[in-house]
Structure 1
Amino acid sequence: MKKTLVLTTALTGLAFAASAQEVTVMSWGGAYTKSQVEAYHKPFTAEFGISVNSVDADNPATPIKAQVEAGNVTVDVADVEFSDAVRLCDEGLLEEIDHSILPPAPDGTPATEDFIEGALQDCAVANIVWSTVYAYNTNSVEGTPMTMADFFDTEKFPGKRGLRKSAKATLEMALMGDGVPASEVYDLLETDEGVDRAFAKLDTIKDDIVWWEAGAQPPQLLADGEVAMSTAYNGRIFNAAVGEGQPFEIVWDGQILDFDLFVIPKGAPHKEEALKFIAFATDTQRLADQASWISYGPARKSSGALVGLYSDGKTEMAPHMPTAAENLTNALVNNFEFWVDRDAELNERFNAWLAN
């Protein structure tokens, strides 16, 4: 009897240990997190029996850095922007990821050849290509804004402007709004004159700016009529317009393309589960599945052909992707190296400008 009890207790303990497997994934919230829950988290749990704890932050790179430096890491996987992934890796705050764990494309093409150039880094694996755009509420704006210059023209298009409270993307858009072609933006920002010019352009609308920090805020600001136009992540505007019927229009001129990537903080409590999650979530099918929930482009070439309809079952997703040919006319690809090198310096200048 005693042996049976001991055996039963041991088996129960093993079953509990198996069911207790988990991975905590930190992302950006709102429609974006929902797309990941539907495309990655639920299928991952169904296939492996590993539960996914989903937590959100305005910018996951900030708490990740704080957790690792404090030696109190509670997150296993984080979704971060490219420049943050490179910077955190350089600072030794992330685990390296062996790309051989990533599954090949359905036709056997190795992952290292299937991911878009730049999408695989020593400590990071990209999942999406997204962009910062600006959008407007058609009920709040008379006429049709078409260029980045129109965003800064409060005489022609009156009303408040929403801008992300960050130097990154804001300075680039200011220069493009001042007539600088996308191809010349970073050469100019490398100079003191270029930085001065960007801030001078921001000065022209400073009194009309409403600052935002979380990706869910711009659609809300537009819907509430607090701003007539706002910079925003393209997928958030798509979901508000197509998914919720909001009268929003995206202006693609001057869009800034970027990657988001999965990283594992140094000292993650469930590293093996984290690696398994990343390999699963970034396979060809899963990346295509996410694109049916939000208009961000998959980071794998083989996923493109599998991108079909939005989750409403009728909206073709391809034209809404930032990588659609017609949306790339005056697009700027985020210069990751520039922001790795200049982030602290330019944000210090930006914060000083805000305070004046």
Structure 2
Amino acid sequence: MKLKSILLASGAVLGTSFAASAQDMADSMTIVSWGGAYQNSQVQAYIEPYKEMNPGLEVVTDESSGEAVTKLRAMSEAGNVTWDLVDVTAADGMRLCDEGLAMEIDHDEMLAAAPDGTPASEDFGGSIVSDCFIPQIVFSTTFGYRTDMVDQKPESVCAIFDTETYPGQRALEKRPIGNLEWALICDGVAIDDVYNTLETEEGVERAFAKLDTIKDDTVWWSAGAETPQLLADGEVVMGSTYNGRLFSAIAEQDQPIGMLWDWQMFDLDGWIIPADLPADRLARVKDFVKFATDTQRLADQAKYISYGPARASSAPLVGKHAELGIEMAPHMPTDPANAKNTFLFNYNWWASYRDDLDSQFQAWLLE
């Protein structure tokens, strides 16, 4: 199954009970994710159900996924890895795998097959981008804007650079990913040429020059929950964040926020297991992961947030929001109405160039 097929699926098949003997399994587990509405969707869809199946299990949740690579490097060097399971983007998962900080797995051995018997490797298909990466969701980074602070509805992602038509502060993520691509797109670079351009010194300089035009008007965020809050407080007129965070602000909190889907950036998110966990902790994590990534559980997560499950068999099971009762498929980034202009984030490319461009980006911020 190709990644394109997964991206076009927008939705989660009755799973199997994974209740297992607690013998030889740790009685506690630290799960690291991104906080906010996304981590809450994980808690609701599979952490709480798993705890109910395993009375007495303590699950500690951490919100440090944005610093996963740095912190796992430090833990490994200190010989004290305290995390058991970490939610990361595909590019970060590939980096951690390449550095030996994440455990390589056999997806068909560790993960449940689809209800019809299709092996996990086929059900997840092209979303398995690394021997260490366990896919969960397809998401996008896109833009939200205050509907009551604009005179005309923005239609193009390049509105972020148009301070004349859309005066006011913007919010952009405090890292190069996404920002450099949008800067080049809005500076006239053809979509198919973006990464080739970024491989040149001149291309990187061109992207930073475009970002210079709004640098003084930008609030830089590190956590996905920040932009929705900045928008809700009226501190920014528009800003980038993950589509599920905007869905939560719009549909659940009824904030005066609109969604801009133009050139949204598709990406993958999933789990990695830190390398060299003690046997009892690894046994617990493997038991949890098999449960949490089965067909039904990934569909259940879509009841709480508008991210598309990475398993093909989960898509037909995406239904209504657990509390609002609204159909979730139209709110997925993969819905045809939302996916007219999409940019497929190149996680392979970023896995290779991330460290260097991170350094350049942080230096640019300090200029």
> Do both proteins adopt the same fold according to a TM-score greater than 0.5, normalized to the shorter chain?
yes
* 2:314 aligned to which of 287, 303, 318: 303
* 1:342 aligned to which of 327, 347, 353: 353
How far apart are 1:48 and its partner, in Å? Answer: 3.5
- Three-state SS of the structure 2 residue aligned to 1:122 is coil
1:223 and 2:240 matched: no
1:32 and 2:43 matched: no
C-alpha distance after superposition, 1:154-199 (max 9, x if no partner): 1011111100000111111111222334333212212222212211
CA distance in 2 between partners of 1:19 and 1:190 (Å): 46
266-275 or 173-182, which deviates more: 173-182
CA distance in 1 between partners of 2:246 and 2:221 (Å): 14
Letter in 1 for 2:27: Q
CA distance in 2 between partners of 1:40 and 1:314 (Å): 20
1:185 and 2:158 matched: no
Letter in 2 for 1:52: V
CA distance in 2 between partners of 1:151 and 1:123 (Å): 36
For 1:17-28, what aligned pairs fall within 5 Å after superposition? 21-28=27-34
Residues 300 and 16 of structure 1: CA distance in aligned 2, closer, same or farther (over 3 Å)? closer
Structure 1: stretches of 5+ with no match in the other structure: 1-14
User: Where does residue 162 of structure 1 map in the other structure?
Assistant: 171
89-98 or 280-289, which deviates more: 89-98
User: Where does residue 7 of structure 1 map in the other structure?
Assistant: none
CA distance in 2 between partners of 1:16 and 1:254 (Å): 47
User: Where does residue 17 of structure 2 map in the other structure?
Assistant: none
C-alpha distance after superposition, 1:22-52 (max 9, x if no partner): 2211101011110000001011112244432
- Three-state SS of the structure 2 residue aligned to 1:260 is strand
1:75 and 2:83 matched: yes
Letter in 2 for 1:165: K
Letter in 1 for 2:82: T
Letter in 1 for 2:225: A
User: Where does residue 268 of structure 2 map in the other structure?
Assistant: 259
For the aligned residue pairs, the C-alpha RMSD in angstroms reads 1.8
- Three-state SS of the structure 1 residue aligned to 2:325 is coil
How far apart are 1:236 and its partner, in Å? Answer: 0.5
* 2:94 aligned to which of 86, 91, 94: 86
Letter in 2 for 1:125: I
Structure 2: stretches of 5+ with no match in the other structure: 1-20
How far apart are 1:311 and its partner, in Å? Answer: 2.0
- Tell me, yes or no, if the aligned pair for 1:182 and 1:331 is still in contact at 8 Å: no
User: Where does residue 57 of structure 1 map in the other structure?
Assistant: 64
1:201 and 2:204 matched: no
184-193 or 136-145, which deviates more: 184-193
TM-score for the superposition, normalised by structure 2: 0.89
User: Where does residue 8 of structure 2 map in the other structure?
Assistant: none
CA distance in 2 between partners of 1:222 and 1:205 (Å): 18
CA distance in 1 between partners of 2:31 and 2:75 (Å): 14
Higher relative contact order (CA 8 A, sep 6+): 2
1:46 and 2:57 matched: no
Letter in 2 for 1:283: D
C-alpha distance after superposition, 1:113-144 (max 9, x if no partner): 10141335211201011111011011222210
Letter in 1 for 2:84: D
How far apart are 1:16 and its partner, in Å? Answer: 11
User: Where does residue 247 of structure 1 map in the other structure?
Assistant: 256
- Three-state SS of the structure 2 residue aligned to 1:215 is coil
Residues 16 and 79 of structure 1: CA distance in aligned 2, closer, same or farther (over 3 Å)? closer
TM-score for the superposition, normalised by structure 1: 0.92
How far apart are 1:349 and its partner, in Å? Answer: 1.3
Residues 43 and 300 of structure 1: CA distance in aligned 2, closer, same or farther (over 3 Å)? same
Residues 16 and 324 of structure 1: CA distance in aligned 2, closer, same or farther (over 3 Å)? closer
> For the pair shown, which has the larger CA radius of gyration, 1 or 2?
1
Number of residue pairs matched by the alignment: 342
CA distance in 2 between partners of 1:226 and 1:64 (Å): 34
How far apart are 1:62 and its partner, in Å? Answer: 2.8
C-alpha distance after superposition, 1:296-328 (max 9, x if no partner): 110000100000111224211111111112222
User: Where does residue 6 of structure 1 map in the other structure?
Assistant: none
CA distance in 2 between partners of 1:228 and 1:209 (Å): 10
- Three-state SS of the structure 1 residue aligned to 2:337 is helix
How far apart are 1:333 and its partner, in Å? Answer: 1.2
Letter in 1 for 2:349: F
CA distance in 1 between partners of 2:101 and 2:287 (Å): 20
CA distance in 2 between partners of 1:275 and 1:320 (Å): 31
User: Where does residue 110 of structure 1 map in the other structure?
Assistant: 119
Give the percent of matched residue pairs that are identical in Structure 1 and Structure 2: 49
